[in-house]
Amino acid sequence: MTGFLKGSATAMITPFTEQGVNFDCFGRMIGYQIEGGTDALVILGTTGEPATMSEQEKEALMRYAVRCAKGRVKLIFGTGANDTQKAVAMTRLATELGADGILAVTPYYNKCTQNGLVAYYEAICAATTLPVICYNVPGRTGVNILPATMEKIADIPNIAGIKEASGNMQQVLETARRIRGKCDLFSGEDALNLPILCAGGTAVISVLSNLVPGKVKELVTRVEAGDLAGANALNDALLPLASACFVEVNPIPAKAAMNLLGFDAGVPRAPLTPIEPAHEQTLRDAMKAFGLEVRA
């Protein structure tokens, strides 16, 4: 299927306190995203640290997002797992709770075959009538959705597209060629948002837009309008900030950046650690250079 997601989507961080999820802060961040023009919120993706959350916390976060934002912005919930049965169960729960779409990362650690990937997405899609986005991030999972495999997966009726974060533009272009007209291509890597959009990507799923939702949306809008000069100028300004947001493993810098903007986002859960002082200064400098008001 095509047309489910267009524009900009934010891969939301999950703010934590020592007691659990900071729902007050999460609500503030949702409001910040909607005010910035974000088209969709991706919750419980990699940036949201679901691997360190209990099933109860995940369900509570989804329920809160539905209460706070349903009908105001599209809600896409991450349900992927390295156990197909768990992914199916979480997909059914997300559907019941009111998600608008599903993001399903490839099964990590197990290193399944390409045929295993097809079977995995068939099972997830059979558990819901919602649009399902495949999430390809082999640097995290150890599994890569090859273009020929994605071409097969694209034949599943409710596959809406692929969030590509492989970092390999040759592969992205080949995938785009094979799925064009069947389902959509989404950028899952901020440094490659512009070229993926120019290759026919219909949306970006961005970490950077936690900080600057309006600017990320503007980048997409400029490309859609054919204003490539304006898009390049904006992308040139965004790239140093995007680089700073990945100075350590995601979401360590993104969470630190939201704290610097005045959100009580807390720190990542172990085994991730708080940002190192030198990297925090790099992040702070990039944010100031972009014109963001940074908390002292």
Read off the pLDDT band of 295 (50, 70, 90): confident
Which CATH fold would you assign to the domain 7-224? TIM Barrel (3.20.20)
pLDDT tens digits, one per residue of 166-201: 999 999 999 999 999 999 999 999 999 999 999 999
Amino acid 282: pLDDT:
97
Tokens of 102: 């599903």
| pLDDT greater than 80 at residue 116 | yes
How much of the chain, in percent, has pLDDT values that exceed 90? 99
pLDDT tens digits, one per residue of 123-157: 999 999 999 999 999 999 999 999 999 999 999 99
CA–CA separation, 250 and 240 (whole Å): 16
Average pLDDT over residues 246-270: 96
What's at 65, amino acid-wise? A
Residue from 58, 74, 163, 255 carrying the catalytic annotation = 163
How much of the chain, in percent, has pLDDT values that exceed 70? 100
Average pLDDT over residues 62-89: 97
CA–CA separation, 292 and 90 (whole Å): 37
| pLDDT greater than 70 at residue 296 | no
Active site residue 163: yes
Residue pair 202/5 in contact by the 8 Å Cβ criterion: yes
CA–CA separation, 287 and 273 (whole Å): 21
Residue from 135, 215, 217, 255 carrying the catalytic annotation = 135
Could you give phi then psi for residue 272, rounded to 5 degrees? -70, 155
Q: Which of helix, strand or coil describes residue 236?
A: helix
pLDDT tens digits, one per residue of 263-287: 999 999 999 999 999 999 999 999 9
CA–CA separation, 88 and 242 (whole Å): 33
What's at 267, amino acid-wise? V
What's at 52, amino acid-wise? T
Active site residue 109: no
Tokens of 278: 């030198």
Residue pair 137/107 in contact by the 8 Å Cβ criterion: no
CA–CA separation, 82 and 203 (whole Å): 26
